[in-house]
Amino acid sequence: MWSKESQETYEMLKEAVLDIALKWQFYRAYYVGDPMRVDLLNKIAPITFGLFQAVLIDDIVLSINRLLDSPQMMRNENLVLERLITSIRNDGFNDLADDQEKQLAKIKGAAQNLRVRRHKKISHNDLATFTATSRTLPPVTIESISDVLEHIYSFLNSILLFFEEKTLYYEFLDSGGNEPARFTSRLGTIVD
């Protein structure tokens, strides 16, 4: 059985990831999906929607990177994926913690371009980045963000599957024009 600390850390991380997933789903729906929708946004208010697009992508990149920070900086403790691994290891689930460390290494590898963007453009005013063309930063693509998020979903789901034999579905369904309904688990449990 996992400890209360591990469960609470998992729940807080899950909520943080669900927030990122909602923003990412919104971004894809409005800026990647239907070309007619993109054209409409460009006709209605190109500057406003262009600015919102840039702010939203930076927020998503920054939010993903926060999950990959160190568990502690200075005297402050951070809510990060690594903290959950440490907590699970402290609970005595060393094999699971070892597996999660491998998954975290894959996440960090997949997020390398996102981390460079955070450090050079979003979080800091890196002079060389501002004086050079945008080609100095590695590309952050729709595919790269989707890939990192899928790795993060898998990371959290393997923990949930281990302890509760179910997984979380990180997509939101529109409830007929109202606020998106959050469906946090698939029907039934996964048995394998």
Each residue of 127-173: pLDDT tens digit?
Answer: 766 666 555 778 889 999 999 999 999 999 999 999 999 999 888 76
Contact 150, 119 (CB under 8 A): no
Report domain extents, the chain: 4-182
- Dihedral sign of CA atoms 129, 50, 30, 156 in order: positive
Using CB atoms within 10 Å of the CB of residue 152, give its burial: 0 to 12 exposed, 13 to 18 middle, 19+ buried: buried
Each residue of 58-86: pLDDT tens digit?
Answer: 999 999 999 999 999 888 999 999 999 99
58 vs 134: CA distance, rounded Å: 15
Tokens of 105: 């290494």
